[in-house]
Structure 1
Amino acid sequence: MSQPRRTSRHRAWTALTLPALLCVLAACSGSPTSDAAASRTPSASPTPSGPPGTLFDDFRYSGPEDPSLAANGWEVRAGGGGPGIKDTWSGGGAGFPTDPTAQGGRVLQLQSSTDGTKQGTKQAEVQTTGTPLFTGTFAARVYLSDKPVSGRNGDHVVETFFPISASDSSPNYSELDYEYLPNGGWGSVGPQLDTTSWFKADPPDRVTRALKKQRLEGWHIMMITFMDGKATYSLDGKDLFTSSGKYVPREKMDMHFSNWFIDLPFTGGSRTWNMKVNWFYYKADEAVSHADVKNTVDGFYSAGTHHINTVPKS
C-alpha cells in the first residue's frame, strides 16, 4: 500500500552550474561537448512547434547539468524531504546513458543505492516543471528492475511513474501513481505493481489496486488516461484499474519519475538499483490508445524529433 508521498516532503532541487545557468539566461548557442547533447535541436525556441497539446521527450541529454534539460522543463531532485529515506535525494542519481535495448538507444536512468544506512543511501527523482498537465493521456516506456545491478537483493525499493500536484498542501491535491515493488513493502510480499489514485495526502485518502505475483523486469509502456471523470491505468495495452468519483485529479500536475527505498531492511554491503525511462509522451484532452501512442512516438523517432512541448501554459 502506497504511503503519502507529500507528507514531510519539501522541494530541494539541483541548480544548474553557474556556466550552464549563464548559458541558459543568455540563450547561448555554443555546442555542448557531448555528442548526445550536440544532436539535439536548440530547445529555447520562442515559438513551440509540433502537434498541439503535446509533450514528448526521448531524454537525449549529456547529463543533469545539460542546459537543455532545464530549458526543456525538467528538474533533478536533490536534498530534503520524503518519501522513503528522508533527505537522501541525490542529483547524481540521474543520468542519460546509451542503452542498446532502448528505442533510439538512449535513456533517462534513475540510480538509487544504499548500504543499509541513511548516510549510505541515495535516492533519485526527475520531474517536469512549468508545463501544467491535467486531462488527457500520460505514457512512458519504462524499464522496471527485479534485482539490483550490483550487491545483495532484498531491498524494499519503489520504482515509480506519477503525475502529482505541485503543492504539498493544496486543497485540490491530486496524484496518480504507478509503483513497482519487486521485493514488496509496507507488509506485502513482492513482486507487486500498485496503481493508486489519491484524493488527499494527509490524512491519506486514496483507492488502490495491486497486480501481484508478476515479475515485470524489462521494458513496459505504462499509461494513465484521465478523461470524462475517470482515471484508467494500463500496462502494455491492458487496462489494470479505473478510479472515478472523488479519486481523480482536481488540478493540474507535474510528471515525476522516481526510484526510492521504503526502508532499510538490512546492512552490510552496498547495492545499486536502476530504473530507466526511454521516453515520455503526454497528449492533452485526448484519450489516446496504446497503439496510437506507440505509432505517434515511432513517428517522432523516425523524424529525429527529440523534444516537443506545445501544451498551453495555463
Structure 2
Amino acid sequence: MKAIAAGLVAMSMAGGAHAAEPQFFFDDFSYADTAALFKQGWTVRSAPGHPGIPGARWAPEGLSVVDGKLRLHGVTDGTGPGTAQVQVCHQRKYLAGTYAARIRFSDLPVSGADGDPVIQTFYAVSPLKHDFDPEFSELDWEYLPNGGWGSDKTRIYGITWQTVRLDPWLAFNQQHEEFGPLGERGRDWHTLVMQVAEGRTHWFIDGRKIDEHGGRNYPVVPMSINFNLWFSPGGPLPAGVAGGPPRVYEQDVDWVFHAKDTVLSPAQVEAQVKRWRAGGVARLDQVPPATPALESRCDF
C-alpha cells in the first residue's frame, strides 16, 4: 500500500491523462438530473429480489439529484405491493484501498408515521453466484434508525462478509454495531470510511475508528460501489403504523470517494475532497476496469 503526500495529490489533480498514482474515484453528485448521473457510470436498479420486503418494487424513480446531492427516496405501507425501494450502483472494479462517503441518514420519515424497519446503506459488493459462494465479497454500512432483525435498537452496522446463503438464511461475516441515532431529526451529515489493506478492514465514523476486521472476511474479488434504501421484512410495526398510509423515507449522499490501493486517514480523505471542491473538481474516475473487465450489475 502506498502512503499519500500533498505533492502527489497535487500532481494527480493537475496531471489529467498523465495523473500520477494514486488512482481516485470521486463524485460530488452536482448533476442537473439523473440522466447526467448515468452518463458517468452509475446505474439504478429495477430488477426484483433480495433484499427487502417480498414483492417490493425496486423503483428507478426513487433516485434523484436535489441541490447537488444524490437522494434515495423509499415508500412503504408495510406490504410488498405498497413498497418501493431504491438502489444505485457504480461499476464493479473496486477492491483494496480507501472507501468513503458523506451521508445524511433519516431518523424519521419525511411523511407518515414513524416506525418502519428502514435500512439505509453505503456498501461495496460482488455478485453472489450461488449459496456460500467462496468468492463473494461485501463491505457494508447499514443504518437502522427504527431497529430490525429482532431488535428495536437504533444502530449502524459495519459488516465485512465472507459468504452467505439467502434461503434459509445463514451468513458468515464479521460485524460491529454502533448504537444510537446518527441524525438529529435526520438532518446531520456523517462521513463513513473503510480502509481495505493487507488482509484487514478498518471502519471509521466521523474520524473515529469503531472496529477492525480480517481473516476469511477480507474481500477477494472486485466489487461495485452502491447505496440503497430498503425495508426489512417480518418485523412488527408500532401501533398506528401497520396498515396505515404510506410512509416516505429519504437518504442523501453529498459525495463518494475511493483511492485505489491507497490507505488514507479520514482526515486525509476530507482534506482531499475539500481541495477538489475548491479547485472546481466535481468528479474523477481514474480507477481502471478490472482485468478482464467484469459485468457491472445492479441487482444485489
Q: In structure 2, do the counterparts of structure 1 residues 97 and 215 end up closer, same or farther at CA, with 3 Å as the change threshold?
A: closer
Contact 2:22/2:262, CA 8 A, preserved across alignment: no
CA contact (8 A) 2:195 2:203 kept: yes
How many angstroms does 1:124 deviate by? 0.8
TM-score, normalising length from structure 2?
A: 0.82
The 3-state SS of whatever aligns with 2:288 is: coil
- Pick aligned residue for 1:111 from 73, 76, 101: 73
Call closer, same or farther: CA 1:191–1:128 in 2, change over 3 Å: same
Q: Does structure 2 retain, via aligned residues, the 8 Å contact 1:48–1:308?
A: no
Q: Counterpart in 2 of 1:120?
A: 82
- Structure 1 position 144 matched with structure 2 position 112: no
| Residue ranges of structure 1 left out of the alignment (5+ in a row) | 1-45, 99-105
Aligned partners of 1:254 and 1:282: how far apart in 2?
11
**CA separation in 1, counterparts of 2:19 and 2:245?**
49
1:156-235 equivalences in 2 (<5 Å): 156-169=117-130, 170-202=133-165, 203-216=170-183, 217=186, 218-235=188-205
Matched residue of 1:204: which SS? strand
Matched, 1:299 2:275: yes
Task: Report deviation, 1:230.
Answer: 0.3
Q: Which amino acid counterpart does residue 211 of structure 1 have in structure 2?
A: E
| Overall identity of the aligned pairs, in % | 32
1:215, 1:294 → 2: CA distance?
Answer: 19
Answer 1 or 2: higher relative contact order, Cα 8 Å, separation at least 6: 2
TM-score by length of 1: 0.78
1:226-279 deviation per Cα after TM superposition (whole angstroms, max 9, x unaligned): 011101110000011111110110111001101110027322111100001000
Q: Residue 49 of structure 1: CA displacement?
A: 6.1
Provide the residue aligned with 1:95 in structure 2: 64
- Give the RMSD, CA atoms, in angstroms: 1.9
CA 291–92 in structure 1, closer or farther in 2 if over 3 Å, else same: same
Q: Can you list the C-alpha shifts for 1:190-216, whole angstroms capped at 9, x where unaligned? A: 211111111002141112111113444
Contact in 2 for aligned 1:111/1:274 (Cα 8 Å): yes
SS in 2 for 1:246: helix
Size of the aligned set, in residue pairs, is 259
What is the match of residue 94 of structure 2?
Answer: 133
Corresponding residue to 1:70 among 21, 38, 43: 38
SS at match of 2:269: helix
2:284 alignment partner AA: I
How far is 1:144 from its partner? 1.0
Q: Distance in 1 between matches of 2:50 and 2:39?
A: 26
Structure 2: any 5+ residue segments left out of the alignment? 1-15, 291-300
Cα deviation 1:117-141 (Å, max 9, x = unaligned):
2211100110102x50010000000
Instruction: Give the C-alpha shift of residue 79 in structure 1.
Output: 3.5
Determine if the alignment matches structure 1 residue 274 to structure 2 residue 250. yes
SS of residue paired to 1:209: strand
Structure 1 SS opposite 2:112: coil
Q: State how far apart, in whole Å, the 1-side matches of 2:45 and 2:87 are.
A: 5
* Contact map agreement 1:49 1:308 (CA 8 A) in 2: no
